[in-house]
Amino acid sequence: VEDIAQSAGVSAATAYNHFPTKHALLAQVYAPIIGPLLVQARRDIETDRPMIEALDDQVRALCRIVAHNRTLTAAFSAAVSEYTIKIGQLPDPADEADPRTLVPMPEALELLIEHGQRTGELRAYPPSRDMSGLLINTLLTRNVNRPDESSEITAELLLSVMFGVLQPEIAAGAERPFRHAH
């Protein structure tokens, strides 16, 4: 909290006084970083963009954001874990201190996957909420455990997992179908 307050040009006491918890403070700092992804996901759905293309772009953008903000993402992830353990229940949309509701990180992927499942572009199972949660949890874990991993490698892994489950035909016969040439 002290580091965030310092970078915002305020005292730690001021930061603590304006946010109900450190979890909420971290979420408020992280929200604008993730927010544009949700806007893009909604736009992709409204314009009937092919979901394979939209999801590919979304995952790659998310991986770039996480890699670029590695330390802040790790702090946010820790805040989410700590808060989840503390309250011991699913997020409550009315809870203004819950970082999971303040920064619904899986939501953009969930919307796109759900839309793709509804239109038949993606398999209906597993449910979009489960798949998006799995992908985000994997991303956040890799962010902490593999700090030197490039966003491209992380994205390739997440895309392989996601489409391997939701549309395995894409990967049929290809050893690494989501690898971009560098």
Domain assignment present for residue 180? The answer is: no
Give CA–CA dist 57/47, Å, rounded. 15
Domain assignment present for residue 165? The answer is: yes
Q: What is the pLDDT along the chain (182 residues), one digit of tens a residue?
A: 676 666 556 677 777 777 777 888 888 888 899 999 999 999 999 999 999 999 999 999 999 999 999 998 998 899 888 888 888 888 888 877 787 888 889 999 999 999 999 999 999 999 999 999 999 999 999 999 999 999 999 999 999 999 998 987 776 666 666 677 55
DSSP 30-95: HHHHHHHHHHHHHHHHHTT--HHHHHHHHHHHHHHHHHHTHHHHHHHHHHHHHHHHHH-S---TT-
Domain assignment present for residue 177? The answer is: no
Domain containing residue 131: CATH number: 1.10.357.10
pLDDT at 11: 77
pLDDT at 41: 98
Can you give the residue range of the structural domain that contains 126? 2-171
Domain assignment present for residue 27? The answer is: yes
pLDDT at 29: 84
pLDDT at 177: 65
pLDDT at 168: 78
Give CA–CA dist 83/77, Å, rounded. 10
pLDDT at 27: 83
Q: Is the peptide bond before 177 cis (omega within 30 degrees of 0)?
A: no
pTM of the model: 0.85
Domain assignment present for residue 20? The answer is: yes
Domain assignment present for residue 176? The answer is: no
Domain assignment present for residue 21? The answer is: yes
pLDDT at 149: 96
- Count of alpha carbons within 13 Å of 31, Cβ hemisphere only? 14
The number of distinct structural domains making up the chain is 1
Domain assignment present for residue 178? The answer is: no
